[in-house]
Structure 1
Amino acid sequence: MNLRRKSRLIISLMIIFSTILISIFSGLLMMEKTYEIENNSITKEIQKTIKIINYEISNLDSTAIDWAFWDDTYYYVIDKNNDYVTNNLMDNTFSYLEINFFVILDTDGNIIFKKAYDLIEGKEIDFPKDLENSISDNETFLTTKTDGFVRGILNTQENSVILVSRPILKNDSTGPIVGTLIIGQFVDSRKVTELSDISPSPIKLYKLDSTEADQIIKNSPSDFLDGKKVYSMAVNDSKINGYYILKDIYGNPGLLLEIKFSRDIFLASKKASFYLLAITLSSGILFGLAFILVLEKGILSKIFYLEKEVKEISTKKDYSSRLKIYGDDEIDSLAYNINEMIENIQKSSIVLKDSEERYRTLFEESMDSIWATELDGRIIDANEASAKLLDIPLNQLIGLNIRDFYEFPEDRIEFQKKVAEFGSVKEYPLNLITKKGQRINCVISFSAWRGSNGDIIGYRGIVHNITTRKLYEKQLIELNETLRIINKILRHDILNDLTIVLTSIDLMQEADEKLKQKALKAINKSVNLIERMRELEQTLISGSHVEKYELNEVIQEVKKEYKDIEFNVSGKCEIGTDNAIFSVFDNIIRNAVIHGKTDRIDVTIKDKKNLCETIISDYGKGIPNDMKDNIFEEGASFGDNKGSGLGLYIVKKVIERYGGTIEVEDNTPSGSTFIIKIKKL
């Protein structure tokens, strides 16, 4: 797909997505406001309906007051005169008062009179047993106050009723109270229709244990049954129902009120959303067309020209050609930069060709083996030195698996782990077996060869044959061991002779004191020489067991032998050495004390990135200028107490074995300063 089509596609998608997003957000905003208005309208309608129901209950209460505060009712409860029932509680009375039942209780809650009437059929019916059980012996309806009353909804096992109870008193509302009068209406289809006719919207009333109410309550919020919130549920685009819980006379959920409400506001909002979508889409299309036209004329045509010219240069590989520049905008600047890039490519191609030739010459003429393998070990390139190393013709070597030449094929796995972890290996030891079965010791330096996705696809590097070096190292170790044994024997013999001399001196008489002192001086010098020989031996074998040493702790240990000297030690740094490090500092400090005659030594230890620098300064006589250049040479010594000349020579050898350096300079105002630099651990 070219840039022109991509631009049109991107702009088209932008218009579509923008239109969709605007429509979604505006629609959501309008719908949210619509739902809010609908809920407010439903809440108001339900509030009106509740007022109507309460008004009906109030009318029923007025009727109950008329009958309860009447002498005829009062004396009927006392004398049970049946004329009261015959003359007053006929069927016509129930029809006129629009009540379904009339009940009189005595003060103990026993029913004195009860009658039920079906207003739909227009005839007396059996008094519902469940209603009778709910009324009789119910302390809720028994009151000791003349103004006490109960009114509201009562649910029985089979029925829901609206009832009112009042205490039975005389005409003048005086007592004593002789009983309770209860009248009420069944919440049946007649009553619901009557309420629906006078309500602003059609309504229904459900018992909470009905199937309809159960399904609605399941979908409602958790706090809906508290009777404090209105719950609405859309039936379709034109109808929505509102629901509310009416409490019974006990304050518990009594009936579920349903009100049906038309969705005129929702339909109007939906229509407005459609018009908004049409306007937004039309505007987007017009804007997109205008933008594409401007983009085509001002940008794309120039880019297509550049693309055509660059492709032609690339196809012909004519790096001497250049793009034409017509203006000074960003695209023309791009053309200028492309011309510079083509010029650089032209120069680089020449350099690259020379570099490839030099690399190929280096690769083919290298004395060390160089090869490249795939991930599984197949050799894909190698030089002639590799063929000589493995004792096989080069044309036969290419294509073979390098693992076939490993002395231990499992070493390949360890090698791959190292390269995967560090990216490369340097001087990595590896034993190979030639085609003729000869074992060779090698060290390899290989790096990972990665594909375009960054995964390792092979390895390439240099292989150096160290078989001869290994042989020499082995011979050197054997020679050192021999020298150490010879040296040990010499020391043993010298010490034995010295012991005999010391014993003889002890037997000398007092008169031979001068001879005795001269012998002692010679003996001490011999002992010192043996001590230097031992340190030289330590130098030769040092490095075999490297450990971590903290330089401050080493100095603290060495200075214990010089209790009369003032030491100032500061700083810390860790290095990896063996215990010969103690001899290094002891030699320097001993020289400062014996030859320099110092009484104070300052030691400063500095942690400098990759190395530890230790500065040892004394305040003694210092080192003569003519001795500074060769102070670390074997046999170099000075002063009244000339030693063997091996001490600082040994120090330098040990430090060099650690890969470090040592220097000496004058201290101010007097004395010498030794600066030791050793790589950190």
Structure 2
Amino acid sequence: MKITSKATLMVVCVVVALVIVIFAASELFVKEGFNAVEDTKAMQDTDKVAYILASDMNMLHSITREWAHRTDLVTYMAGAPVDGPPFINDAAFGQVGVNFIVLTTSAGSIIEGRSFDTAKQTAGPMSVALRSHLDSVYSFPHFAITDEQVLGILMLSGTPYMVSSQQVLSDDGKLLGTISMGRVFDGQEVARLESLSLFPITILTYQELAAIASPELATGYGEMPFLNWHGNELLGVNSPVVLTAPTRETMEGYVFVNDLYGDPAVILKVEMPRDISLQGEKTTTYFMGWIIITGLVFGVILLGLLHIFVFSRLSTFSWRMEEIGDERDFSARVPEDGDDEITSLSRACNTMLRELETSQNQLKGRLTETEERYRLFFNSGKDIVLANRLGSEDDGKGKANAFLGTFIEVNDAAISSLGYSREEFLTMRPSEIMVPTEKSSMAERISRLQAAGALLYVTELVAADGTKTPYEVSAHIFQNEGEPAVLSIARDITERRSIERLKGEAFAQIEQNMVQFAILNDHLRNPLQAIVGLALLNIEDEEVVNKILSQADLIDSYVDQLDRGWIESEQIRDWLRKYYEFK
């Protein structure tokens, strides 16, 4: 992998690691922060629904208080002869927006109770069931009389009502009774809460909540009424709140509302969009996108700067060094621009190249001297020097046969002795300069040469003009550029053969002379014996006889010397025959 690819991979890894770290940090801190803010806001929004409900109930209480101070109501409650409360009519119900109005005496008995049919928009007597429920089950009138004012939720016949009760006093402060107003906590009231809170709201009972959610979720009720009063002062709203996140887009808040007795009444489910969480995710996404784009831009800029100031110079340096290495041109140099580590590396490489150039020049000089010396040695001798390839070929039977290939090099003596040019030699094989009778023994000689590594033999070479000359050839195998080759040194033995012929002729003459010499000795001794015998027979002239005998003795001594010389010649002949192979 090239350094540019490695740097690109490292930049990509750094950007990816940075994105992962930032994403993890955003998930751990930013998103959790958004979720915490969202939970806080959701709690506030859910509490706001409870306070809106409390405010709505407080408005109902204000209406009840206003009616408790009406002159016509006080007159009616004081026992004045009035034919029923004329002020409790359809218009009054429509004006105050309640579903029932109940008047009780100071003793707690109901003296008047009227309800409002919202479907027909008409007021009428309170139903027996509602009157019975108010009178017996919850003892609401008695409960109202004992307190100066009452405000809260009552479950009447399974239906939640917002109920407000206020004491009616005479001008002198005497308790005349109570007036109680109730408004059904129905869809219309929920719509009113939704319009004020801007959130979808659903009324649930404890059983409904336990059926659609975890039972533990429905344990948020306290044991206190929804509203806490002390005299005319509203002390606070007691409404436990629980949050859940059923989906990615919405979360739910549950407002637990108790009745006047602190028992569970209704549950308000508030559905709130998770705008903050979604905005946090969107912000995180935008931020991560910005980080990725910024990282990529900075990565591209970084890679571009690295390419301009580092990679391009390193690439040029690497390309130049490869070119110098391929061409073996140590006189070339790499550029030394700048003043940094790459420049220092270039200077060090140039120093190395100068040293290599010096060494190369020295080696070239030595090589030239060696080549000249080699050529001098190669061409100065009178012997023929031939170098040829040693190859092998398949004989068609799966066996490889060696053969002598074309000549690689020949010396000047080969050119002058055989008459072929150097170019002709380099296209010829040894078999082309041998006499035909020698070609049959070539395979056997090659086998012996391969087995022993060297071979000495005598052959005849044919010159360009057809002249045949005997040569003694010394051949051995060597390696030429990793391939086997044969170096042959051939010496002209024409003169040696002439000398050997003359030696043979001389030895034969010596043999013949020795035979004739032995015969001559015998021929000399026989006449000499006859002369001595004749001299002894003729003793008349003693002086002559003595002279003859003395001369005979002299001749005999000469013959003895010849015999000794013949013996010595015979020993010399045997020595020559032994050491010079004369026959």
TM-score range, shorter chain: 0.3 to 0.5
Structure possessing the higher radius of gyration over alpha carbons: 2
What TM-score do the two structures reach when normalised by structure 2? 0.42
Greater fraction of residues in helix: 2
Higher relative CO (Cα under 8 Å, sequence separation at least 6) belongs to: 2
